[in-house]
Chain A
Amino acid sequence: MTDSHPEFPPPRFGVGDKVVVKNGPPETHCRTPYYLRGVNGQIIELIGRYQNPSLLAFHKPGLPKLWLYRVRFDQYKIWEQYNGANSDSVVADLYEHWLVPVKEHSNVAP
């Protein structure tokens, strides 16, 4: 099947954007780890558009393709009692529908 879709939206996020990982939506096959839900991070790369694994998991074509981002999270923002360097981080590859933008002066808890 062709990759092009005339009405396919452009990426919502760009490198440097601050994002929060959602707590949902519920997915039968989910590739957003539990430990990152609700955590603030930053986009460090726009990886590209790929077939939706939640649909592929049920033998469906997984279209339309979704934007995939590499997101960096400070460890001290993920874990209450992180024991390591302040600069330590986790990086994960997350699909767009799991991310919400964070405004500069957002009240979203870290």
Chain B
Amino acid sequence: MSHPKDHSHQHDGEHDHDHDHEHDHAPIESPQEPTGTLRYLEQALRELLNEKGIITAAQIAQQIDLQDSRTPALGSKVVARAWTNAEFKQALLANPLEAINETFGLTITTPLELVVLENKPNLHNMVVCTLCSCYPRMLLGIPPAWYKSTDYRSRVVVEPRAVLREFGTQVPITTEVRVADSTADVRYLVLPLRPAGTEGFTEDQLAALVTRDTMIGTALPQFEQA
């Protein structure tokens, strides 16, 4: 029986969006679904919780859909808005959750706080949770497997610049690389610097430059002027 390692390997590009979760029997078969004990345990817990009225199948489906609806695109919009609207940026830095919920009509909550780490010409922020995998999931979606890996969690605090190089990112030696370790349920979002040459870009065009990794701090928004 093979167990998935710390990062699950899933190679299907065809993500099935048919969310028919109403029945409890075996879900869509795929080579990546575990076999044996894990699968039976998950099914057993799910069935028992359902039978006891603690968590219904509908609630599971709804929660999956809600989590699916949170993608880095939301974070990208936030960044793009902050780049183009000084008032929003100020509100975002002062009271991130409130600013985001009000501006985008959402009801996001986090365990404690959301803090936005603003990059500056002499400051590059990176985020990690060395102790587990804390991440602003209700804003950016589920964290990537690498973020949760012990390799990232162990290395980024001691050799951040080597980790950046591995991601193909260079930060000048004159810029402070600051690694925020999410030790206490404060969730962090990096506000990257707006790349040069993007003056006059629409918010959508700007958002397209803001990848998930730029909001974790392992990448910089890329724009090559023609």
Contact = CB atoms under 8 A, between A and B. Distances in A.
A touches B in complex, CB < 8 A: yes
Interface string B153-174: 0000111111000000000011
B184 A33 contact: no
B183 interface: yes
B41 interface: no
Range class of the B interface residue count: 20 to 34
A31 B131 contact: yes
Contact of A92 (B112, B113, B158, B183): B183
Contacts of B185: 50, 53, 93
Nearest to A90: B179
Nearest to B173: A85
Contacts of A68: 184
B179 A93 contact: no
Contact of A91 (B131, B173, B179): B179
B177 interface: yes
B130 interface: yes
B119 interface: no
Contacts of A35: 130, 157-158
A33 B181 contact: yes
Interface string B126-138: 0000110000000
Interface string A75-101: 000110011110111111111000000
Interface in A51-93: 53, 68, 70, 72, 78-79, 82-85, 87-93
B99 interface: no
Contact of A93 (B162, B176, B186): B186
A78 B161 CA distance: 16
A15 interface: no
Interface string B17-51: 00000000000000000000000000000000000
A94 B178 contact: no
Contacts of B150: none
Interface of B: 112-113, 122, 130-131, 157-162, 173-186
Task: Enumerate the 6 nearest inter-chain pairs by beta-carbon distance, A residue then B residue, closest first.
Answer: A93-B184, A87-B176, A92-B181, A88-B177, A89-B178, A91-B180
